[in-house]
Structure 1
Amino acid sequence: MTERHSDNPDILALLPRLADADAGVRRIALIALADLEEPDGLPWLTDAVLADPAEEVRAEAAQSLAELKSLEVGQLILPWATHADAFVRASALRALRELRLEEAAAPALLALRDPDAGVRREAVGILGWLKHVAALPDLARLAVEEPDTDVRRAAIGALGLARDASVLPGLISALADPAWQVREEAATTLGKVGQADAGLALVEALADDYWQVRLRAARALGRLRHGAALEPLAGLLGHAIANLRKEAALALGELGLAQALPALQVAQADADPEVRKAVRIALAQLQGLGR
C-alpha cells in the first residue's frame, strides 16, 4: 500500500466512496478520481489496481491509469513499471504507452524478459509506439522465440518501425508461425517495411491455409510491385472470399503489368460490387499498357 495524502477537496470528497463496501460504488468513484487528472489521486488508483478485491474495480483502475495524459502523472507512474505485482506492472506500462514518454523505453526493455506474458505484451507496445530502434534485436528475438502468441504478434508488428533489411529474417520466419494470426501480422508488417527481398516468401504466403493471411500477403505484394506474384494473384480472383478477390485485384493493379489485363477483364463480371470496384481501379491503373 502506497502512502496516500491529499489536500485536494475534490479527492477528499471521493474518499468515502473509494472505501465503500459496494464494488460498483468504488468503481464509479475511481472513474471520477481519474477524471480529476490530479497527481495526488494516483496512489488511490494504483492501490486499487493492486489490492481491490473486485476484479471489475481493478480493471477500471488500470484503464483509468491508461487514460491519464499528464506528463507529470507519467513521471509518477514510471516506478510502478517494476512493481512486484504483474498486474500493476502491466497496468503501469499500458499507461506509459499512451503517454509516449521516452523515459519509458528503459523499463520497457527490461520488461521484454518479464515472466508474465501480459507485461511483455505491454512492453512491446511501448517500444513500438516510441519507435525505439535499439529494441529491434530483442523484438526480433521475441518474433521467433516468444511462447505467447499475442506477444509474438505484437513483436512482429513492432518490427515495422524499421524500414531496412535487418528485420527481414524474423518477419519471413514468422510467415511459417503455427498461429495464423502471427502469420497475418508478419505479412502486414512486411508490406510496411517495403523490402523487395521479402517478395518470394510473400508469394508463398498466397497459398496459406487461411484467407486472412493470403489477403495481407496480396496487399504487401502489391505495395512491393513484385512481378512474380502476378499469376498467383490472378488465381485469387476466383477465390470464394470476396474480400480476398478484392485485394488480389487491387494488388494486380499496383503491379503495373499488362499481363494482368485478361484476368482483370474477366473479373469485371464478379458478383460482388466491391470486387468490381477494385477491378475498375486496377484496370484504370493499367490503362494503355496492353496497347
Structure 2
Amino acid sequence: MNQAAVFADAGLQEPLLAALGDTRYNCQAWAVKGCAAMDIRAAVPQLLTLLDHPQWIVRDETVTALGLLGDASVVPALAPLLGDQADWLRQRTADALARIGGDAALEALWSEFEHRRFPRIGYLASTLALFTPEVLPRLLAAADSPDPDQRYWAAVALGSTGDDQAVPTLERLMAGDRGVTVFDGEVRTAAKKALRTLRRIQAAITERETTKAG
C-alpha cells in the first residue's frame, strides 16, 4: 500500500471507499492508508467516523489521512484528540493540524499550548513553530509568562522557528531565567538548546539557497 500513489488506478477509488466501512476482514487501516496515498478526498466524511475506532492502528492512520486530505472543516473533529491520554495520538493530531494549516488549526494548537494538560508538549512546540511568522508574537509573549513551563516550551518553539526575531528573547532566557518546570527542566537550558536549533535551521536554509544559486 506504500506504493499506492505510484500504481494509482482511478478504478480503485470505489473499492477503497467501500473498504473503509468493511469490518469483516480487518482491513480498514489499509483502506485508510490507500485513500491517503491516492489523494481520495471523497473519503473524508467516512474518515471522520473512524476517529473513535476501537483499533489504535485505524485511529492512527485516520488522523494522518485527515491531515493529508482534510481542510479547516475537519479541525473541530481533530482538536479534541489533543487531549487524548495516548501521547502518540496527541502527536499525530498535532502533526495533522499543522499540515492542514490555517487559522482554525493554529487556534486549536495554541489553545492546547496555553491551557496545557500534559507536562511534556514538545510536539506542540514543534508544530506551532510551523506557523511562523503568524505565531511569533504569541510565542514571544509566552516567553514572558509567569509560568516557567510555558516559558520553557515557548523557548523550544522559538528555536524551531529559525527566525532572528526570537534571538534576543532566547538570549535573555538563557542568561537570566532560573525557572524550573514540573518535570525539572530548566528554562535557561531550553533556551540554550533552542538557540542552537535556530542556528542549525538558519545554516541549513543558507546552504540550501547557496546550492540552488550555484
**Normalising by structure 1, what TM-score?**
0.51
8 A Cα contact 1:149 1:179, kept in partner:
no
Per-residue CA distance 1:50-104 (angstroms, 9 max, x = gap): xxxxxxxxxxxxxxx3422313223321111112258411111012111111112
Contact 1:66 1:91 in 2 (8 A): no
SS in 1 for 2:118: coil
Seen in structure 2, the aligned counterparts of structure 1 residues 244 and 98 have a Cα distance that, compared at 3 Å, is same
Q: Quick one: higher RCO (CA 8 Å, sep 6+), 1 or 2?
A: 2
Superposed CA RMSD in Å reads 3.7
* CA spacing shift, 1:202–1:92, aligned 2, 3 Å: farther
| Residue 113 of structure 1: how far off its partner (Å) | 2.4
Are the structure 2 counterparts of residues 215 and 107 from structure 1 closer, same or farther at C-alpha, using a change threshold of 3 Å? same
Counterparts of 2:14 and 2:143, CA distance in 1: 43
> Corresponding residue for 1:155?
93
Unaligned runs of 5+ in 1: 1-64, 255-276, 282-291
Question: 1:104-135, CA deviations, whole angstroms, 9 ceiling, x for partnerless residues?
Answer: 21111111122222212211111111242210
Identity, % of aligned positions = 18
| Runs of 4 or more above 6 Å deviation | none
Q: Structure 1 residue 231 and structure 2 residue 181: aligned?
A: no
Structure 2 residue aligned with 1:142, among 81, 102, 105? 81
The reply to whether residue 192 of structure 1 matches residue 136 of structure 2 is no
Query: Which of 155, 160, 163 is matched with 1:219 structurally?
Result: 160
> What residue number does 1:106 align with?
45
Q: 1:166 to 1:151 in 2, by over 3 A?
A: closer
Q: Tell whether the 8 Å contact from 1:187 to 1:216 is kept in structure 2 after alignment.
A: yes
Matched residues in 1 for 2:164 and 2:196: separation? 18
Q: CA deviation at 1:207?
A: 2.6
Identify if the C-alpha distance between structure 1 residues 159 and 214 changes in structure 2 by more than 3 Å, giving closer, same or farther. Answer: same
State the number of aligned residues. 182
The question of whether the paired residues in 2 share the 8 Å contact of 1:191 and 1:224 is answered with no
What residue in structure 2 maps to residue 258 of structure 1?
A: none
CA deviation digits over 1:146-165, x for unaligned, max 9? 23222211111111122326
1:94 aligns to 2:33 (yes or no): yes
> Secondary structure of 1:207's partner?
helix
Q: Cα deviation per residue 1:231-286 (whole Å; 9 max; x = unaligned)?
A: 125679x959x9655215468xx8xxxxxxxxxxxxxxxxxxxxxx79xx8xxxxx
- Are the equivalent residues in 1 in contact too, given 2:95–2:127 (CA < 8 A)? yes
Work out whether residues 128 and 157 of structure 2, in 8 Å CA contact, stay in contact via their aligned partners in 1. no
Task: Indicate the SS of the match to 2:152.
Answer: coil
Q: Which runs of 5+ in 2 are unaligned?
A: 177-185, 207-214
Q: Residues 191, 116 of structure 1: CA spacing in aligned structure 2 closer, same or farther, 3 A cutoff?
A: same
* TM-score normalised by the chain length of structure 2: 0.66
Report how far residue 178 of structure 1 moved.
3.1
Higher helix proportion (structure 1 or 2): 1
Which protein has the larger Cα radius of gyration, Structure 1 or Structure 2?
A: 1
